[in-house]
Amino acid sequence: MPEYKMLIGGKLVSPVLGGTMDVINPHDGSLVAVAPKASREDVDLAVAAATSAKAAWRKTYIGDRAGLLNKLAAVIREHEQELYSIESQQYGGPIMKTSKFDIPFAPAEFEFIAGLGRAQTGLTISADPDARVMTVKEPLGVVGLITPWNFPLVTAVSKVAPALIMGNTVVLKPASCAPLTCLKLGEYAIEAGLPAGVLNIITGPGAEVGEAIVTHPGVAKINFTGDSATGKRIMSLCAPLVKPVASELGGKNAFIVLDDADVNAAVEGAVYASFFNSGQNCGSPARFYVQSGIYDEFVSRFVASADKIVVGNPADPNTMMGPLAYMKCRENADKFVAEAKAGGAKVLLERPLPAELQKGAYVMPTILELYDNRAPLMQEEIFAPVVGIMKVENAEQAIEYTNDNKYGLCASCWTENYRKGMLVIEQLDVGTTWINQHLAIVPETPWGGRKESGWTKENSVLVLDEYCYHKHVWINMADSPNTFWHDQIKL
């Protein structure tokens, strides 16, 4: 069994109290590895290490910081194959996905952010002809990064890279059920030569270790991705401390198909985006609003395509959809489906679970037709390969239904009339949108939501602002300061 350690102060260490936690493969319930289970004492050590490192890291030339991020990207690439496999085993992402998306995204993100950081500029402001006015970006200090399990390494790197390039030092806490690739990142950080204490990675339960990071007086800001309920809890802990929280939270994303859509494209987009990563994607479309003229054709082809998805062992290179991350996720999805059926939803696709997958956390692709937009299946995040479809009469009804939801992460509109598509998109109260696409996520484009999906931006040039202060500097070039009392108090 491989031994995993945390990274604190440039050293791979075990928790002070020696705790461990099992990492379970959701495919068959087997033990993947034993991970460290930290406690508050380890958080104190990690924050102390990050605090000691921050002055020197802040003073390090940004080109050198970028060079270290590029080195880290190179080290990750050397270990890609090992990482695909660990990522897949710890949360059930098929190797087809971890090898094509998760692991290649991580070094690409480090490289993108390394270049972006070097190219950033500040403002110069024409406030007064006798003054030179500017903004200067300054690091926040020690930042606490708390991440979920559905894209374990990618989500962590999307925060670690911009935090480091902006001169912050980091305490990262990944999800307890899938911490292994983030712990590997700790080993690679040493190999890449990252100075001790700049990046610290600790693993342990959110309620103890997560909250100890959140409330630690040495941590200047929390950047959190996860469930909306956890996000609210973190915000409530930060409010009395006036500590900023960046938040990427849950979603219940709409997929709007208008009568003039290219049905082939819409079906391909729908099947991929709904069932990629077993629907455990904050951006997955989980509620479909399909216009009446195209409804029957779209629905029958969507169902037929979803019926062909290869579900099974994530380690098999032909598997398109693996299990959910753990058994409770399966029970939660099953409960939503049972309740929807009891409430009158019509089953369009419900594939039987093959006998060999019974002991895993599997949920087969499931499509239901709904008649009430307030039904839980159309309102609540299920985070599983379960989607609800409703027929709508026109674009206005699709917009109304999309906005009638507490979440506001993302949505797509499928139409060959781009003007109409743009008018729809402009009326959606969500943070990320596409026309004739869903789930295109690359380092260059901003990602983030509104309402109970949070308000932060990941990726793109916008992410840098999450990790710095903009200090306003006013330099008076005149002989005396600009005051209303100049004539009264002239010396």
**Is the CB of 346 or the CB of 406 nearer to ligand NDP?**
406
From the list 177, 238, 282, 468, the catalytic residue is 282
**Is the CB of 25 or the CB of 176 nearer to ligand NDP?**
176
Cross-strand bridge partners of residue 475: 132
For residues 323 and 360, the answer to whether their CB atoms sit within 8 Å is: yes
**Is the CB of 205 or the CB of 218 nearer to ligand NDP?**
205
**Is the CB of 44 or the CB of 227 nearer to ligand NDP?**
227
Q: Considering the complex, what minimum distance in angstroms separates the CB of residue 334 from ligand NDP?
A: 17
Q: Give the interface with ligand NDP as residue ranges (CB under 6 A).
A: 146-150, 155, 173-176, 205-207, 210-211, 214, 225-227, 230, 233-234, 248-251, 282, 381, 383, 409, 449, 453-454
**Is the CB of 149 or the CB of 401 nearer to ligand NDP?**
149
Which of 179, 182, 145 lies closest to 162 in space, CA to CA?
Answer: 145
Q: How far is CA 58 from CA 54, 137, 190, in A?
A: 6, 11, 19
**Is the CB of 230 or the CB of 373 nearer to ligand NDP?**
230
- Determine whether 458 is an active site residue: no
From the list 87, 109, 111, 248, the catalytic residue is 248
- Determine whether 282 is an active site residue: yes
Cross-strand bridge partners of residue 254: 287, 411
**Is the CB of 249 or the CB of 386 nearer to ligand NDP?**
249
90-106: burial string, b at 16+ Cβ within 10 Å, e else: bbbbbbbbbbebbbbbb
Q: Considering the complex, what minimum distance in angstroms separates the CB of residue 253 from ligand NDP?
A: 10
Q: Considering the complex, what minimum distance in angstroms separates the CB of residue 155 from ligand NDP?
A: 6
Q: Considering the complex, what minimum distance in angstroms separates the CB of residue 250 from ligand NDP?
A: 4
**Is the CB of 155 or the CB of 274 nearer to ligand NDP?**
155
Q: Which residues contact 189 (CB under 8 A, 6 or more apart)?
A: 7, 72, 198, 199, 201
Q: How far is CA 328 from CA 93, 336, 363, 382, in A?
A: 17, 13, 11, 12
Q: Considering the complex, what minimum distance in angstroms separates the CB of residue 431 from ligand NDP?
A: 9
Pairing label, strands 142-146, 131-139: unpaired
Q: Considering the complex, what minimum distance in angstroms separates the CB of residue 41 from ligand NDP?
A: 17
Q: Which residues contact 163 (CB under 8 A, 6 or more apart)?
A: 143, 145, 170, 223, 467
Q: Considering the complex, what minimum distance in angstroms separates the CB of residue 224 from ligand NDP?
A: 7
Token pair belonging to 66: 């970028």
Q: Considering the complex, what minimum distance in angstroms separates the CB of residue 205 from ligand NDP?
A: 4
Catalytic residues: 248, 282
